[in-house]
A and B are shown apart, each in its own frame.
Chain A
Amino acid sequence: AQTVTQSQPEMSVQEAETVTLSCTYDTSESNYYLFWYKQPPSRQMILVIRQEAYKQQNATENRFSVNFQKAAKSFSLKISDSQLGDTAMYFCASLTGNQFYFGTGTSLTVIP
């Protein structure tokens, strides 16, 4: 079975600072995709960023970027210039075949 591990249940960061959320995954597939989703208190799941495993270049979306280390099976999310609206639960996920696998989440609090 595929596994996605988020080892930081909770994190906090000062507003305007940078924070990195960790994620490791386990797959024997050569072709897969990785995602970070954000779940604010409203409970809606929102796509933050997507990475194709065959691309070495790290994906970026405005203040959000990833550090994709394929050999280490690591996929961390960096949030720059943290904003109060970034307070949420963050889930790392992998897509292998036609199934998505999610980590248990990291609760991020941005402190004013």
Chain B
Amino acid sequence: RKEVEQDPGPFNVPEGATVAFNCTYSNSASQSFFWYRQDCRKEPKLLMSVYSSGNEDGRFTAQLNRASQYISLLIRDSKLSDSATYLCVVKPGGFKTIFGAGTRLFVKA
């Protein structure tokens, strides 16, 4: 079983739609959680951290469910510019950082 698993997609949604991605992790002792965004042929960049209480940044909402060991990312009112691959990132502790393989999102006009 992979340490971090994501649905690879692709998710194809129209502009204005709401879309949600989930990511499961296997190490129950994991400490920190993040979502990174990677545009086609570009490097990953931090989108947002995921806090235990859940957090929101504009149209983006991240949630953590420790009991079920998953994190989620919700994108409301999707824009064409949201088209990208979204990487789930988990830090079990120390230096180790585990990246998921990513979920591809295509937002269409």
A and B associate: no
